[in-house]
Amino acid sequence: MWEYTDTVRDHFLNPRNAGTMDDADAVGEVGSLACGDALKLFLKIDDAGVITDAKFQTFGCASAIASSSVLTEMLKGKTLAEAKKISNKDIAKALGGLPKEKMHCSVMGQEALDAALKNFAGEAAVAHEPEGELVCKCFGVTDVQIRRAIRENGLTTLEEVTDFTKAGGGCGDCHERIGQILAEELSGAAAAPKAPGDGAPKPLTNLERMRLVTKVIDEEIRPALKNDGGDLELVDIDGRQVIVSLRGACVGCPASKLTLADFVEKRLRETVDPEITVKEAR
């Protein structure tokens, strides 16, 4: 179990400013349900450039909700210039600290704030299509996000990169690439050129599809759900229909339908077959 401060517990159990804002002047959205954490930040900004109100919607763990809540409190009354200076370290500090394994929640708050400020400035939204090379497929983390976390927080180890970005916290296939990025950043070298992919994918046989579904569920989806106390069991695979049973904290969770549709089914469509459907066993 994580050791949370009283401030984290207070903001998790009594979140401030949760909800939407129909007349928001700026909206920043980061993360995704596929990553296990997502944050949408709404800002109301007056003519003098002062943030007069802030609200949030968060899907994630206690640290994600607490980080979002305290961020909205920090933003009220600040000018845009002052808001732009808020870092993930400031968010964590306002909560009295976060477990190192949960520092990525403060990073998500900073990224949502950056996205909202860019939205207010009229810059193109990039929330759903993060730029850069996708390094960690389990949590959808790019090299751009990893390099930024390394530079801004002085990270030197793979474990620290995982704590701050979640990259490498799933199947582990990306550990070697994260190590390369760490080496490049710590040595100041430019990023290594990527090898272009080529060749169209071959259609999967039924056996290949079943094996790949099982692999993605065991190595990516279940570890992501377990991070927040949930889990699922693969019950059956009938053609392109995958039948699962929810376990742990997912049972009875108000967001369970969203989890199945926007996380489990979406991830299987991305990694296995775009026509896959996921159904909960009854």
Whether residue 195 is predicted with pLDDT greater than 50 in this model: the reply is: no
Please tell me which residue, 193 or 30, carries the higher pLDDT value.
30
How far CA 135 is from CA of 80, 104, 175, 176, in Å, comes to: 32, 16, 9, 10
| Annotated binding-site ranges for [2Fe-2S] cluster | 136, 138, 171, 174
| Annotated binding-site ranges for Fe cation | 35, 61, 105
Query: Among residues 105, 146, 149, 225, which one is catalytic?
Result: 105
32-74 tens-digit pLDDT: 655 567 889 999 999 999 999 999 998 878 888 899 999 999 9
Candidate from 16-30, 42-56, 95-109 with smallest mean pLDDT: 95-109
Q: Is 250 an active-site residue?
A: no
Whether residue 255 is predicted with pLDDT greater than 50 in this model: the reply is: yes
Local confidence band at 191 (pLDDT 50, 70, 90 cut-offs)? very low
Domains detected in the chain: 6-121 (3.90.1010.10), 134-187 (1.10.10.1100), 206-280 (3.30.300.130)
Mean of per-residue pLDDT scores for the chain: 83
**Dihedrals φ, ψ of 82, to 5°?**
-70, -40
Type and span of the H or E element at 161: helix 158-165
Q: How crowded is the C-beta side of 119, counted as CA atoms within 13 Å?
A: 22
pTM over 0.85: no
CA distance 120 to 116: 6
Dihedral of the alpha carbons of 231, 237, 239, 241, in degrees to the nearest 10: -40
* Bridge partners, residue 58, by sequence: 39
The full DSSP string for 8-62 is: HHHHHHS-SSBS--TT-SEEEEEEEGGGTEEEEEEEEE-TTSBEEEEEEEEES-H
Q: Is 35 an active-site residue?
A: yes
Query: Among residues 21, 35, 108, 181, which one is catalytic?
Result: 35
- The two tokens of residue 250 are 């997912």
Whether residue 190 is predicted with pLDDT greater than 60 in this model: the reply is: no
Q: How crowded is the C-beta side of 236, counted as CA atoms within 13 Å?
A: 7
Percent of the chain at pLDDT above 70? 89
Helix/strand/coil (H, E, C) string of 93-146? HHCCCCCHHHHHHHHHHHHHHHHHHHHHCCCCCCCCCCCCCEEECCCCEEHHHH
| Annotated binding-site ranges | 35, 61, 105, 136, 138, 171, 174
CA distance 121 to 176: 38
- The two tokens of residue 256 are 């369970």
Please tell me which residue, 132 or 143, carries the higher pLDDT value.
143
The pLDDT, as a whole number, for residue 6 is 93
Average pLDDT for residues 222-229, to the nearest whole number?
Answer: 81
**Among residues 103, 185, 101, which one has the least CA distance to residue 151?**
185
Average pLDDT for residues 146-155, to the nearest whole number?
Answer: 86
Average pLDDT for residues 173-191, to the nearest whole number?
Answer: 79
CA distance 12 to 248: 20
CA distance 252 to 237: 23
